[in-house]
């Protein structure tokens, strides 16, 4: 099947151009217009990182027996725990990640946005890059419901984040940047910054 879309668990969109949960679209190596013989799938992840996102991506990988893929990310963020879980899945399969979103031609991508929890999915790629004009941004994590001990919550989050970044080979300074940016704001990284932090591994 040259183009596969998994939409079964997507709720009504919160905005006209953004689904309410992570949308997964995969383009097979034999899709018209693809370079023949490269053997790589293109997997597009668009929308918020919801708690069910990892299971949908894993189901796709297993169903289609995908062994090589570039995973494109276009997301405003979402669940940090799920983002790290999904990043580990992508690293386990040795997939590459790239910030970008699909165009009318499903075999081609354009600039995308990767904010909040999304950079932690990006970090899961073996090779990590962005389409020109894309944005990668961070802010402080916040629980969806009030917590009794905010300091204890932040300590747990930081510990898990630093451990994950080390596991992915990304500089711990990413956690420091997160801590300084209020949750209602975003601090976009320049490409040079992202390369220095090893959040990106190559400049496209």
pLDDT, tens digit (0-9, with 9 covering 90-100), for 80-117: 999 999 999 999 999 999 999 999 988 889 999 999 99
pTM of the complete model beyond 0.85: yes
DSSP letter, residue 49: B
Distance CA 96, CA 98 (A): 7
CATH number of 3-137+186-196: 3.90.226
């Amino acid at each position: 099947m040259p183009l596969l879309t998994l939409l079964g668990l997507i709720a009504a969109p919160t905005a006209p151009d953004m689904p309410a949960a992570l949308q997964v679209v995969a383009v097979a190596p034999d899709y018209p217009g693809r370079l023949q013989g490269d053997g790589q799938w293109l997997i597009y992840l668009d929308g918020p990182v919801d708690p069910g996102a990892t299971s949908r991506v894993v189901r796709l990988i297993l169903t289609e027996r995908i062994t090589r893929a570039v995973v494109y990310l276009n997301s405003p963020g979402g669940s940090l725990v799920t983002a790290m879980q999904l990043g580990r899945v992508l690293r386990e399969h040795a997939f590459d990640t790239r910030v970008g979103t699909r165009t009318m031609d499903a075999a081609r991508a354009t600039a995308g946005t990767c904010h909040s929890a999304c950079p932690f999915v990006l970090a899961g790629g073996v090779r990590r890059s962005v389409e020109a004009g894309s944005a990668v941004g961070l802010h402080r994590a916040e629980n969806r419901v009030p917590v009794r001990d905010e300091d204890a919550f932040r300590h747990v989050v930081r510990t898990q984040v630093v451990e994950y970044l080390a596991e992915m080979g990304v500089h711990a300074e990413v956690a420091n940047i997160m801590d300084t940016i209020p949750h209602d704001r975003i601090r976009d990284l320049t490409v040079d910054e992202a390369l220095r932090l090893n959040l990106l591994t190559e400049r496209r």
